[in-house]
Structure 1
Amino acid sequence: MTIRKAEEKDILRIIELLGQVLQIHADIRPDIFIPGTTKYTVSQLTELLGKEEKPIYVAVNEEDVCVGYAFCQLQEQPFSTNMVPFKSLFIDDLCVDQHARGQHIGESLFEYVKNEAKRMGCYEVTLNVWAGNTSAEKFYEKMGMKTKERQMEYILEH
């Protein structure tokens, strides 16, 4: 397995994996997520590939087929005047093909992202996990991540 920056030839495979992630989220929150959709379209992915501040890394097998990805965003802190300035690499989405899980691909992708964050001079790597996605929470805790903040909601009756 190799990890590299995503290329246009990876887009259709990334779309398939985005569908797998969406289904996980739709199962957890059917009130928010629409089954059978994806977070990005082909044209949006093509545009994203050119953005240095939003790198997409892919794990590929021996046939150079994408088996996992990590969408990242370089963020400059502070968001307010009461914070020390620093850079952060936010993992917007990380996925391993459901048929390739258990092969440490997610761990390799996460380690790769951590190394890229260090190379970019980042202070931290962050991400969000939906409540109810316990397998993701356990995975990230195993990778050494700790809860930084919690976002809470109150759903209004309609």
Structure 2
Amino acid sequence: MIRLIAKEDIQRVNELYFALFKLTAQTEPYYHKPTYQNEDFLKSIIDQQNGFVGYVYEKNDLVAGFVIAQLQTSPPYECFKQLNSVYLMDIVVDEHYRGQGIGAKLIDKIKDWSFRNDVDYLELSVLAKNKKAYQLYLREGFVPYNMSMRSKLK
């Protein structure tokens, strides 16, 4: 079952966030550290502030995954068409539940929400080393659009 994130989900969502942040810290230790998500941020998602929305996927009375997204509009630059977009901020599935289509179902839920909110396109970022997530996004209709590059100075 997929439903909106609620206050009673904060602890479990934060456990999943810690697992995500731990993995990203192992993958990119220069930039990331293992930590929990800020609870005020999670509460703002529950309250759907600043265009945010969040859904959880429940299986056997356990939150097995979640997705957080934000409704955005194009920046006011003359070269950009004024379009509405949804930025898929985070999608996390408990490692014990991966490979069951939960990530795809959470993305579909965001797509449904986006259609209801007159959104023109979805966007997300994925770490270059996160090959499994990259493959999921390709299967779900995402295509590479922009590339972010970094140069360490310290």
Is the CA contact 1:87–1:122 (under 8 Å) kept in the aligned structure 2?
yes
Determine which of 83, 87, 90 is the counterpart of 2:87.
90
CA offsets per residue over residues 35-76 of structure 1, 9 Å max, x none? 2x02x222331233112410011111242x211111101001
Equivalent of 1:72, from 64, 69, 93? 69
How far apart, in 2, do the equivalents of 1:144 and 1:4 lie?
Answer: 23
Give the structure with the higher percent helix: 2
CA distance in 1, matches of 2:125, 2:15: 21
Partner of 1:103: 100
Q: Determine the C-alpha separation between the residues in 2 that align with 1:96 and 1:132.
A: 17
In 2, are the aligned partners of 1:68 and 1:105 still within 8 Å (CA)? yes
Structure 1 residue 131, shift from structure 2 partner: 1.4
- Classify the secondary structure of the residue corresponding to 2:100: coil
Q: CA deviation at 1:79?
A: 4.4
Whether contact under 8 Å (1:78, 1:86) holds in the other structure is: no
Gaps of 5+ in 1: none
Q: Which residue of 2 aligns with 1:153?
A: 150
Moved over 6 A (4+): none
Amino acid at match of 1:20: A
Partners in 2 of 1:78 and 1:31 — Cα distance? 30
2:53 pairs with one of 55, 59, 77: 55
Q: Which amino acid aligns with 2:4?
A: K
User: Structure 2: where are the runs of 5+ without partners?
Assistant: none
* Greater mean deviation of Cα atoms: 41-50 or 73-82: 41-50
Structure 2: distance between partners of 1:123 and 1:47 = 24
Equivalent pairs counted in the alignment come to 153
* Contact 1:68–1:106 (CA under 8 A) maintained in structure 2: yes
SS at match of 2:52: coil
Per the alignment, residue 132 of structure 1 pairs with 129
| Cα distance in 1 between the residues matched to 2:32 and 2:139 | 27
TM-score normalised by structure 1 residue count:
0.91
Tell me the C-alpha RMSD between the 2 structures. Answer: 1.3
